[in-house]
Amino acid sequence: MDKVELLRYTPDGEKLVAAAARLCYSSSGVSEIEEKLTEDKVESFLSLLMDLNHESPIEHVTFTFGIEGISRTLTHQLVRHRIASFSQQSQRYVKLEQFEYIIPPAIANNKKAREIFEKAMREDQKYYDEISNLLFDEHYNKYIEEKFDEKEARNRAEKESIEDARYIFPNACETKIVFTMNARSLMNFFRLRCCNRAQWEIREIATLMLKEVKKVYPILFKNAGPGCINGPCPEGKMTCGKMVEVRERFK
């Protein structure tokens, strides 16, 4: 899997949005509306909706992404977008024999900083292994004393040992996640996370996600991107001051 993969999306999504929006202003039934919506009509009507920022009908369209090779720093930010569904690799049930980690570019490009960072990661793995082994022995002996058979005692002891040992892992720890958002939530996500003021990692992922959805529904997402591409910068005094450059990048 690539770093960002669009796994599923609502089929005929742009036509669905156009039909739902038409229904709001029509005495006709849904089937009749859909039958009358030619491809040209869908394109022109949907384009008008997007220019008017009439976003409630686009909630009917959903997108499911799979993302790997990202840090828990990123997913802590991602799950704050609450109108979505998330399934993330668990550190409680998955024992990390050798955890992968994400190195921020500023650290990767600084030799001394990188040496310190990588040493810290090695030490985290070492301490995780030591703590999980110590706790495993303690829990295993307890379950044997409680008359559990050896297999069940081992399974319970491993689960309980790693669910506490994981506390030592850093935010840099690599993770994997599958999540689903509707198009309106994605619009909001792109406005916030494609912005230059967003943290570098989630901004990179948001930009890749935007490219993926534009491939399948270009009209629906024709105005999607950071908040400044369709008007004044919403960041006020915190603006990056690079609106022209940003608009060129996302046009």
Is residue 154 annotated as part of the catalytic site, yes or no? no
Phi and psi angles of residue 80, each rounded to the nearest 5 degrees, phi first:
-70, -15
Residue 64 forms beta bridges with which residues?
8, 180
Q: Are 55 and 187 in contact (CB under 8 A)?
A: yes
The token pair at 123 is 């030490």
Name the catalytic one among 22, 72, 166, 193. Answer: 193
How far, rounded to the nearest angstrom, does the alpha carbon of residue 248 sit from its chain's CA centroid? 25
DSSP labels, 5-20: EEEEE-TTHHHHHHHH
Q: What is the DSSP letter of 62?
A: E
The string over 69-81, giving b where at least 16 C-beta atoms fall within 10 Å of a residue's C-beta and e elsewhere, is: ebbbbbbebbeeb
Contacts of 122 by beta carbon, 8 Å cutoff, 6+ apart: none
Q: Which two tokens stand for residue 239?
A: 């603006």
Which of the residues are catalytic?
193
